[in-house]
Structure 1
Amino acid sequence: MAKKKRPQSGVRLTRQRLVDGVAGPDGARIRLARPEEGPRVGELLKLATDEIEQAHIDGVAAGKCGTWLLDGLAGHDRAMTEQLVRAAYGGKLQEGALSLSLPLVAQDRDGELVGALLALPPGTVVQTVQQAGYEQHALLAMLKYAKIKGLAVAEAARGRGMGAALLKRCAQLYWQLDFMLLFGEFEVERALGSFYARQGFTVLEPGESTDVGFLLTGRPISLGAGPGEQLFFRWKKS
């Protein structure tokens, strides 16, 4: 009997691998979402949260999401910083945020999209740093912190490790690009704490917060979840 091929685990992400996909569980591929997949990505993400903005789905459909991240993976070390500064001074910071967002999909062996993840710059953190009087640090936060806005797997594909595979590749990409913090929130009633804990995240109790600002500003900045939600986060290992 032929041995079952195991998904690649130690592969380093490159621009081409992110576009083409890397091996996931049960013959799936984990890759960047394609423009024509925008509507399906939106359908999947709405299984996880009602807070997915249409601008994000439109950004996927227009091919605007993740473009600066791809440049970073291609080895253009200063590309993200320079493009973000130009966007800020040109009044196009929202467009820049789309370019730093990450829409990942899990495509099964039959070619169907069965999972999706969307990560993006954390607007709340950026705004908090700006209000504290650290304008330049706010831009830096967009290149050091990322928020998982939504993670969902189609019901028929659950229990096969798709969600864990999407999270793994999301974290790998941001760590390769020298981001420091990956975080998100989930509704308490969904009881996802044990899932995120198994993926290496710290999960806080409802109402708890954590300090995320000292490394950027030299002063504490608190990050917590909204009412009825729990925060999960993971720092890059030094």
Structure 2
Amino acid sequence: MTERDLRTGWPGPDGHRIQLAGPGDATAAGRLLTLAEHGLDQEAEMLARDPRLALGLQRGLSGGPDSLLRETVEALSISGTLREPCVGLSTVLVVAPRGGPPKGALMAFPPVRVLHGALDAGVGVLQVMSAALAVVKLKGVAVASEARGIGLGAALIRRCAQLYEQLGWHVLYGQFNQDSGLDGYYSRLGFDVLGAGEPLHLAGLLGFPLSIHPMPGERLFVRWR
């Protein structure tokens, strides 16, 4: 995968194309992601319109891990907050037929709320940023009702996993309502589905105590590189 691939896209199922969302896709991506379990319309639209979206990821694809690290540290030093660098480490992917509007969308980003919790607990900012470069959350994926059943959602998830794993991330995780029946779906895509209420423990990977807990009634799914 190259920086150009991310911007111009890859062939997807049934003549569709997958690529990084641009400002012109923001409204459609937001509307589609309202179909996801956690309703992401405003959040998705704001992220897709942000000119810094995936900037760090693109630098990493073109210049390697050192460029990705430099971009992240520079964004952190300028802003003094986690939000700026994490926007550059985030992605909104869309899948669309040739010449048509998006029929599916995916949002993924570092788990900012969890990382802020680590900062509040006294973990150093550089350690927290190392976690942002190791753990990414699949926040939501959705496909329009008329385009389901041809593998668009699975194709989005696979491209997302490929992107972050190529750039050195170790963990891609997400969550779903335990009554939704999605455990088999994510298992078939190569994720481990954790038990009801089971947290994702990351201390062994990150070197400081950090666990991600599902919300009541939800289960986590996780893919390790």
* Paired position in structure 1 for 2:212: 223
Q: How many residues align?
A: 223
* Paired position in structure 1 for 2:184: 194
Say whether 1:116 aligns with 2:108: no
- The verdict on how the C-alpha distance between 1:95 and 1:49 changes in structure 2, with shifts beyond 3 A counting, is farther
The equivalences for 1:134-173 within 5 A come to 134-135=123-124, 136-173=126-163
* Paired position in structure 2 for 1:15: 3
Q: What is the RMSD computed on CA atoms of the aligned residues? A: 1.8
Please list every run of at least 4 consecutive aligned residues from structure 1 whose deviation after the TM superposition is greater than 6 angstroms. Answer: none
The equivalences for 1:1-238 within 5 A come to 13-52=1-40, 54-90=42-78, 91-109=80-98, 111-135=100-124, 136-217=126-207, 219-236=208-225
Percent identity, aligned pairs only, is 40
Q: 2: distance between equivalents of 1:153 and 1:51? A: 13
Identify the range of structure 1 (59-68 vs 115-124) with the bigger mean alpha-carbon deviation.
59-68
Instruction: Give 1:222 shift.
Output: 2.3
Q: Deviations over 1:47-68 (max 9, x none)?
A: 0034527354223123321111
Does the 8 Å CA contact 1:84/1:93 hold for their aligned counterparts? no
Structure 1 segments unaligned to the other structure (5+ residues): 1-12
Q: 1: distance between equivalents of 2:87 and 2:95? A: 20
Does the 8 Å CA contact 1:56/1:98 hold for their aligned counterparts? no
SS of corresponding position for 2:100? coil
SS of corresponding position for 2:140? strand
Return the TM-score normalized by structure 1. Answer: 0.87
- The verdict on how the C-alpha distance between 1:180 and 1:191 changes in structure 2, with shifts beyond 3 A counting, is same
- What code does the residue aligned with 1:171 have? A
- What code does the residue aligned with 1:18 have? L
